[in-house]
Amino acid sequence: MLPLCRAASRPLLPSLLPSHLPSASPLLHSLLPPAPPPRPLLRPSRAGGSRAGGSRSYKILTRPPPGPVKPLISAVVSTPPFAKFDETVSLQLHVTLDPRKPNQNLRGSLRLPAGSGKELRCLVLTASDAARAQGVAAGGEAPADGLTLAEVVKKLQGGDLSPVAGVDRIIAQPGDMRLLAAAGKALGPRGLMPNPKSGTVAEDLGRAVADARKGSVLVRVGKDGGINVPVGKVSMGVDKIAANVKSVMEQLNDLKPTEGKGIKTGSRFWVSAYLSRTMHPRSYEVDTQTLDPASSRFFRGGEAPADQGKEEAA
């Protein structure tokens, strides 16, 4: 029988009985919940001190101002790797364009003079035997098993993607696009449909294949005005990546629209720019004046960037 509480004249719950009293019976001890673990001592804060009540102090990272492009490329390449593979260096741009509005689109194929660091597989699809031989001589691949253009299109229409398995680009001539358009549902979602703006539709298939294999990237402005351009691999080194970045900015400057309502010109066109690499949490903000080909500071000077972030106690 449980003892009664004097104040309320009701049974006293076993959970309210002190488990350390020697007068409590072993039966009551078995009914009581286990005692809570002792409260740990306050840990010192990250800044080296401690505060009453368990509050903590945090590190506040202050982003440094944008820096010139050349030292930042060196900083990105020299950063210790976070992955076991050859990471890709990317240039992220934000421009004052809204592709949902007319005459505010930016899309095209950009050539990388130093290469992309990766060999691309290019499939030459054309009805002309001479043009196919020209493309193959430049490093392209002909359809397997000696298939003709019509036979490849027929297989793609039937859902057989084996003719384009593992292919990065498809190179064709303008006269072949009417036949290739029938396979658009199979090639379009995979980014393999040849397009004159991307440089994959040309009369000279040898040059088109050489440019695609050496290094070319397809870029387009997003809905938020962002453009992401891979400019090479870390193993390529600073000089080759810098050459690619310089060439990319010159080509983007030629592709950007200059007329139309709401389009800003000059330095106001480039809002911000960042350099980063795959699997790395840190990015570097680049001074857009050193990336603008129309600026007198284009790819000029600057000291090495200071270490990112100052630590303060909140």
- Give residue-wise pLDDT tens across range 83-96: 888 999 999 999 88
Q: Which segment of 19-23, 73-77, 126-130 scores lowest on mean pLDDT?
A: 19-23
> Which pLDDT band, with edges at 50, 70 and 90, does 7 fall under?
very low
| 284/80 Cα distance (integer angstroms) | 15
Tokens found for residue 137: 């001589």
Task: Categorize the per-residue pLDDT at 146 as very low, low, confident or very high, splitting at 50, 70 and 90.
Answer: confident
DSSP 228: E
pLDDT greater than 90 at residue 173? yes
Identify the pLDDT of residue 266: 63
pLDDT number for residue 100: 82
The predicted pLDDT at position 51 comes to 47
Q: What is the mean pLDDT of residues 211-223?
A: 83
Give pLDDT, residue 306.
44
Cα 235 to Cα 55: distance, rounded to the nearest angstrom: 45
Integer Rg of the chain from CA: 32
Domains and CATH numbers, the chain: 66-106+221-302 (3.30.190.20), 118-215 (3.40.50.790)
pLDDT at 268 over 80: no
For β-strands 88-95 and 270-277, DSSP reports them as antiparallel
Predicted pLDDT at 89 = 94
For residues 78 and 275, the answer to whether their CB atoms sit within 8 Å is: no
CB-CB contact of 87 with 80 (8 Å): no
This prediction's pTM: 0.65
Question: Residue 304 — pLDDT band, cuts 50, 70, 90?
Answer: very low
Reported as a pLDDT band with limits 50, 70 and 90, residue 40 is low
What pLDDT, on the 0 to 100 scale, is given for residue 31?
72
Q: Taking all residues of the chain, what is their mean pLDDT, rounded to a whole number?
A: 79
Strand bridging mode 107-111 / 122-124 = unpaired
pLDDT band at 302 (very low <50, low <70, confident <90, very high): low
Q: How confident is the model at residue 305 (pLDDT cuts 50, 70, 90)?
A: very low
Of 255, 259, 290, the C-alpha closest to 91 is 290
pLDDT band at 308 (very low <50, low <70, confident <90, very high): very low
User: What value, to the nearest 5°, has the Cα angle with vertex 89 and ends 98 and 199?
Assistant: 60
| pLDDT at 48 > cutoff 60 | no
Quick one: pLDDT at residue 273? 93
Q: Which residue has the tokens 């080296």?
A: 48
Cα–Cα separations (whole angstroms), residue 98 to 165, 197, 268: 35, 19, 14
Structure tokens at 206: 């040898």
Query: Does the pLDDT at position 43 exceed 70?
Result: no
Kindly state the tokens that stand for 29: 């001890």
Q: What span, in angstroms and rounded, lies between the C-alpha atoms of 36 and 295?
A: 68
The predicted pLDDT at position 59 comes to 55
State mean pLDDT over 159-171: 89
CA atoms within 13 A on the CB side of 305: 25
Which residue has 């809570």 as its token pair?
36
CB-CB contact of 161 with 153 (8 Å): no
